[in-house]
Structure 1
Amino acid sequence: ASAPVAIALALGIALLVDTPIRGRAWYRAAVFLSYPLMPVAVGIIWRWLYDEKVGLINYMLILAGVVDRGIPFLDSPDWAMPAVIVAAIWQIVGFFMVILLAGLQSIPRELHEAAAIDGAGAGRRFGRITLPLLRPSIFLCLIIGIINSFTSFDLVYVMTRGGPSYATELLITYVYRAAFTLTRFDYAAALTVVLFLFLLALTWLANRAAGGEAGAVEAVE
């Protein structure tokens, strides 16, 4: 669930920092800073932000008069998964921005200039030129995002340990629980193989799709 949202957000940021605005190098660095952090560190940071009593998010909500008391984000089955997704997006969006920004900067400016001369507006140029040529980069981000969603053990374990009431249980955390809590090592090993094969197949299909789109764009050019 986090991958499409992170890609859309990263694309918006990449489009913004690709324009000649003052201090854009600082903006790029600020957005990217979250990615090099270890998932454990990210989990600890967001556990503090979400804390019901001393968390910054609850403090701001109470200060703004939105709520009367702190919301137990990580202890509520309704809030836990959205809270983890927000943390995952925050960590990965900077990396996606770099990939998409590289894709944007590889698009020949002459294509946009020619389209502008022909009367195409910014929206039309984005839909007809920018987005098609960015498809390989978007597919790459999608692959990374989906794989990250299935393998985000560190972040989930630090923030919620798969709870409450298994609300944030992922396949990888279930494998861990099956092996080290239920001591069903054979079952956990089988699940690991299934997960590996699924991710391998997903990567292969996405690479083929990205290659096909890239080939189609080259043919049009």
Structure 2
Amino acid sequence: MAMSAAPERRRTSFLRRATTRQAILVWCFLAPSLLIFLLYRILPLAWNIILSFQAWSPLKPAVFIGLENYEEMLTDEVFWQSLWNTVFIILSAPVGIAMALGLALLVNSNISGRNIYRTLIFLSYPLMTVAVAIIWRWMYDERVGLLNYVARLLHLTDTPIPFLNSFFWALPSVVVANIWQMLGFYMIILLTGLQNIPSSLFEAAEIDGATAGDRFWRIILPLLRPSIFLCFVIGMLNSVTSFDLVYVMTGGGPGRATEILVTYIYKLGFVQTRFDYAAAVTVVFFVFLITVAWAANRLSGGNAGARDME
């Protein structure tokens, strides 16, 4: 009895040591990435939260002031204008995704030259955002811009349209440039999702007499929910962090017409040296992003999918 128990104990001890060595090896591989994440994500976020409750600038020591920075936001017209502009840009993401879905359905069909169309549509995404901003700033130019030239050529207007110098046109013009840059990325993600849908589902639907609209609403759209959610999250993050696109095209102007939260935070910190108030706006911005991502997950049926897996 004792002799049979000894090999079992040795086997258990060996497995325990092997598991420990494997865990140590895993943590050794993860340590560099975790350290970088800690240094460049967690610690700055924690310091930013602490700084938001203080009055501080490079020329004076920090003083704890409680919620005063957050109270200032309630009466800060520029903050509310920037928040509204940020929401407007986020709401434009579904428009770009809908356009990309239409293009994905088109290039997924049996049309001649579809590979060429895929490449041409995707070409906008690898471009640097600064390059995209310069291209669209030229296209919007009142004197030599392509859009004004075509508008006058077609007799749509007699005077140049000040796309980037008008309170009415500036923000929509930036949104169009942002959608154009992301359109190729959205299309590739959605096209991959379309190609992963089993063809047997469409064949069965055709046998049952389903129309093209029925197949879209009952097969394509439900099965593309994960891809659509991914596109929305990436599009949302790209929209609200598109500092370079806005700064190169308009600088946040005219006035505050295209000011978004990320450009406002930059100006508060590095132009006005109000790092304390900029930290408070950053915290609100962070909470805002988490809230939008959570709402998008709920709308995409993420929780329902998790329950189904359980």
Task: State the TM bucket, normalised to the shorter chain.
Answer: over 0.9
Aligned to 1:177: 267
3-state DSSP of counterpart to 1:143: helix
1:136 to 226, 231, 236: 226
Q: Percent identity?
A: 63
Q: Taking structure 2 as the reference length, what is the TM-score of the superposition?
A: 0.67
Distance 1:66 1:218, change over 3 A: farther
Taking only aligned residues, the RMSD between alpha carbons, in angstroms, comes to 1.9
1:211 corresponds to 2:276: no
Residues 77-92 of structure 1: matches in 2 within 5 Å? 77-92=167-182
Residues 26-105 of structure 1: matches in 2 within 5 Å? 26-105=116-195
3-state DSSP of counterpart to 1:74: coil
CA distance in 1, matches of 2:250, 2:170: 8
Alignment deviations for residues 17-39 of structure 1 (CA, whole Å, 9 cap, x no partner):
00011111110010000001111
1:146 corresponds to 2:236: yes
CA distance in 1, matches of 2:235, 2:109: 26
Worse-superposed segment, 135-144 or 44-53: 135-144
Worse-superposed segment, 138-147 or 81-90: 138-147
Match for 2:123: what amino acid?
L
Distance 1:38 1:180, change over 3 A: same
Q: Which runs of 5+ in 2 are unaligned?
A: 1-90
2:211 to 114, 121, 132: 121
Q: Which runs of 5+ in 1 are unaligned?
A: none
Match for 2:207: what amino acid?
I
CA distance in 1, matches of 2:295, 2:214: 29
Alignment deviations for residues 83-133 of structure 1 (CA, whole Å, 9 cap, x no partner):
000000000011000110011011000001001001111111111111110
CA distance in 2, matches of 1:150, 1:22: 37
Return the index of the structure with the highest Cα Rg: 2
3-state DSSP of counterpart to 2:164: helix
CA distance in 2, matches of 1:40, 1:117: 51
CA contact (8 A) 1:139 1:210 kept: no
Distance 1:104 1:216, change over 3 A: farther
CA distance in 1, matches of 2:304, 2:203: 23
Q: Taking structure 1 as the reference length, what is the TM-score of the superposition?
A: 0.93
